[in-house]
Structure 1
Amino acid sequence: MTRRLFITSTLATSAIAGQTNAENPAFAPAPFRVKAGDARFGVHTPFRGVNTNDVKISGKDTNNQLAVFEYIGKEKIGPVLHMHHDQDEIFSIIEGEYLFQIGTEQFTAKAGDTVFAPRGVPHTWLQVSEHGRQVYMVQPAGQLEDFFLKFTELQGPPSEEQIRQLHKAHGMTVLGPPLALK
């Protein structure tokens, strides 16, 4: 390897490492595997008490840079229209079909599709197939993991006010109801 290439490679690697660990230079994640059907720390957070919605990669694993969730839908439901103030959200549809609304645009996403919802843009989705599965990510991780834990702790269905307060406490704003099947 030439000296110039070595120096360039070293500087580039240092810059990348500095970006990913800028908040905590001592942070060094360890590799791990989360088996199918498991949640990262063994705590399941079912969406609306029904559909699987498990953390697969926690913000604790990534110095709060990224969180990854797996959603397995048995019922045709989806979240309220909401907006993340500080997080981008990326959905990868593994199985089934979903109706998405990002901003004012509505479209269908099917297995193999990827959907990007930038921070600051209202969005929601509705599972329209009998069964659905998606992996979705938020970047940075923010407080979404804690948001789902708090919902899971509630006794019974939350009121509209509880929904608004939980969203607000975790960096999101509720802007409207969920999508409905026509």
Structure 2
Amino acid sequence: MKRRKFLLHSLGATMLFMPGKSALAKFRSDKVPFKVSAGRGRFNESFLYKGKHPNDIKISGKDTDGKLAMFEYIGYDKVGPSLHVHFDQDEVFYVVEGKYRFVVGKQTILMDVGDTIFLPRNVPHTWIQLTDIGKLVYFVQPAGKAEEFFRTMNNLKQQPSKEEIDRIHEECGMKVVGPPLKL
């Protein structure tokens, strides 16, 4: 009988300290879950990096109120971006497939499947794929204009001039500060 009484009193005390509906309301969101299927981009958009390599939005800044964007890159060549800097965004890359060499500031870091790298804002960086096929999942925080950058570059009808590339980077909070890596 004492045990039953103890359990009832414990339950009652717990109920007194549980947050009410108003306290729980602050944790609610008007956001809804969604799925982005393999080989697809968010909003059914697909971007091709350098006209060949899928670089799809998986989570848009629109989904996170600008706090984060997530991309999936699939590389079919041993290429990578020019040495560049993001003024307002950090990046996190996770290697799903292949091997990569990242240069971040003065450090060179070799990356293999399962490795993760953090690239802080305002630090010049680049990477190159070292294998014939590779896949990266990467996050940009905050989302900034990363999506706009890839959308603009993807929709160009011809190879942009250096001046156009510099202008697009500047409009999206970045700057090219050197050439891409070579093997």
TM-score range, shorter chain: 0.7 to 0.9
Structure 1 gaps of 5+ residues are 19-26
Cα distance, 1:37 vs structure 2: 0.6
Structure 2 gaps of 5+ residues are 1-13
User: What is aligned with 1:121?
Assistant: 123
User: What is aligned with 1:52?
Assistant: 54
Larger Rg: 2
Cα distance, 1:154 vs structure 2: 0.7
SS of 1:141's partner is coil
Matching of residue 162 in structure 1 with residue 167 in structure 2: no
Cα distance, 1:13 vs structure 2: 9.1
Calculate the TM-score normalised by the size of structure 1: 0.86
Q: Deviations over 1:12-70 (max 9, x none)?
A: 995xx59xxxxxxxx62210000001110111111111111000000000111100000
CA contact (8 A) 1:50 1:75 kept: no
Q: Deviations over 1:93-134 (max 9, x none)?
A: 000001100111011101000010011111110011010001
Q: Deviations over 1:79-98 (max 9, x none)?
A: 11111111110000000001
The structure 1 segments of at least 4 consecutive aligned residues displaced by more than 3 Å after TM superposition are: 10-14
Identity fraction in percent: 46
Separation of aligned partners in 2, 1:138 and 1:171:
12
Paired residues in the alignment total: 168
The equivalent position to 1:89 in structure 2, one of 88, 91, 97, is: 91
CA RMSD, Structure 1 to Structure 2 (Å): 1.9
Separation of aligned partners in 1, 2:123 and 2:108:
13
